[in-house]
Amino acid sequence: MTVNQTIKPFYFDITDDEIQHFLSESEKILRSEKLILGEHTKAFEQAFAEYVGTKYAIAVNSGSSGL
């Protein structure tokens, strides 16, 4: 590793399009006036469950709540 090489955990390797997508989706959530529960949470839970290959996933507000 060279001195100028960036260490991945401290560097976001994302494109401008990905940043715009994130901003657009974040704006939708903020404008929905529902930061918890609601359609966005349900969509996240379903997408996450599919991503990890399980039938269900439940979003919680902290690691302690998850335990």
Three-point CA angle 54, 57, 62, nearest 5°: 135
Give this prediction's pTM.
0.65
On the question of pLDDT at 1 being above 60, the answer is no
- pLDDT for 37: 87
Tell me if 4 is assigned to some domain: no
- pLDDT for 36: 84
Tell me if 66 is assigned to some domain: yes
Could you read off the pLDDT of 4-62 as tens digits, one per residue? 666 667 777 888 999 999 999 999 999 998 888 889 999 999 999 999 999 999 999 89
Give the total number of structural domains in the chain: 1
* Domain around 48: 35-67
